[in-house]
Amino acid sequence: MSNLKWWETAVIYQIYPRSFQDSNSDGIGDLKGITSRLEYIAALGVDAIWISPFFKSPQKDFGYDVSDYCDINTDYGTLADFDELTEKAHGLDLKLMIDIVPAHCSDQHAWFEESRQSRTNPKADWFHWVDPMPDGSVPTNWLSFFGGNAWSWEPRRQQYYLHNFLASQPNLNHANPDVIEAFADIARFWFDRGVDGFRMDAVHTVNGSVAPYQNNKPKPDFVVGDLPQQQQPFFRQLHDTGQLNQPEIQKFIESFRKVADCYDGDRFLMGELHGDDPVLASKTFTAPGRLHATYNFNLLEWAGLDVAGLKQAISSAVEAFNGTGKLTFAFSNHDVPRSATRQLAPLNLSEDSQEALQLMLLKLETSLIGSTCIYQGEELALSDVQDIPLDKMQDPWGIEFSPIFLGRDTCRTPMVWQRNAPSGGFSDANDTWLPISHPHLERAALDQAAKTGSVYNELRAFLKWRKGQSAIMDANTIELVESGPEQIVFNRISDNQTLRCCFDFNDLTASFMEI
């Protein structure tokens, strides 16, 4: 029996609840819908599910703008629905992770509504309030990920407040111990309901510093990229000297970890982060007493990676974390184009290769050290959706920069379950929150689960085989092997087995051999 914790080798299935399964015919996925599809996920052979935010929220950023961390948004159901989901997931031997958003909340949260009223109320310093410069301008040169300044004016206080994303997502002040304790209480609330872990959203954007804040420095080697988001002013700056990855963040992380360690069952904290030096940031966040693992961006390059880029991404992660389970790899999520589509271009492959490519990528990431996140639909080799009409777009990032940049809607369209069912079996409603992708109907989930040789069933067989490999399940040791320009080769090594893992991008095959 392995001595590793469950999360050190876990395959985690990410669910974007708004797009997974609608149970009440309103065109929006919900918790009861997820519960109804858990058998499909469990049959795939994954170890856990991670559900993106379903908390009470005005949905301006679709759940990443939380107005109550301990309640369910009515679009998604009730706390009783969540308890039912948890019980069924555990009954199917699935761990349950949820997405917590610690850096910012909604401007409709009671904390911010009180804080913005005056400089003397009990929540006055729960957010980052700063006086204007003498000329009335913003306090620093910090910019928002979503465009424009990272500071907005509040006339009642005659001060600016910080927001790294939308102006309706004010950053919480984690220099205030009361804020840190409030999140400890939130962690207890969900752990007490049976949650096995948290994916902690954008922890590098948590702000725990105090004024005066330091300006970001210019990025000396900045080159305007081909992708629209690379052309935004935000990417002209270095951020870890001022705005992001501040050392003070770790006080919050350490507090949250202490809460997790008080519970049985190896509760798991996985932090999403990035930075000017993401490897260094990952090391800092996974130091003793902090996060168990970081959600690794190395393989999530928006435009995809060629084989040399994939090798470099894997090599840098292995060099820093070999022998540990402190990394979580992913090729896709709800924030980037779907992996099979974006990898076709840099690898110079045709669309006919999509299924073979997706299966090989899934085998590759689940053979690396640490845990893996599979985004809903990857097991079906779903394509990215590039033809969403502008009047149907929902993502505020995409709406801001459309039509040049389509944002994240392209990877968030509803799951389809049966080709011949209305709305692909996602909903009984004719009008869904994002349009159903008609090409996706050819790879509808239940149809593929019943089809011999589908990506779903090939992955299912592979994950079953993987669980019997000591080199993958009993140790997190990897040895990179010199290989041809179109191959990635490494050995996975335990006391009982050395397994050579070969991934050939010429014929899109994966092979495994004991040596």
Query: Which is nearest to 282 in space by CA: 307, 308, 312, 319?
Result: 319
Q: Which of 75, 81, 201, 379 is catalytic?
A: 201
- The dihedral over CA atoms of 356, 362, 367, 370, expressed in degrees to the nearest 10, equals 170
Q: What whole-number distance in Å separates Cα of residue 142 and Cα of residue 160?
A: 12
**CB within 8 Å of 120: residues ≥ 6 apart:** none
8 Å CB contact between 473 and 455: no
- State the pairing for strand pair 159-162/151-154: antiparallel
Query: Which is nearest to 57 in space by CA: 100, 95, 2?
Result: 100
Q: Which of 8, 47, 75, 272 is catalytic?
A: 272
**CB within 8 Å of 300: residues ≥ 6 apart:** 330, 331, 332, 333, 335, 336
For the four alpha carbons of 171, 212, 209 and 287, in that order, the dihedral sign comes to positive
C-alpha distances out from residue 378 to 105, 225, 396, Å: 30, 27, 24
DSSP tag of 141 = -
Three-class SS string for 408-441? CHHHCCCCCCCCCCHHHHCCCCCCCCCCCCCHHH
Q: What whole-number distance in Å separates Cα of residue 150 and Cα of residue 128?
A: 11
Take residue 130 and report the two structure tokens written for it.
């700063």
| 155 burial level (CB within 10 Å; 0-12, 13-18, 19+) | exposed
8 Å CB contact between 445 and 40: yes
- Annotated catalytic residue 272: yes
- Annotated catalytic residue 277: no
Query: Which is nearest to 270 in space by CA: 354, 328, 189?
Result: 328
Instruction: Kindly list the catalytic residues.
Output: 201, 272
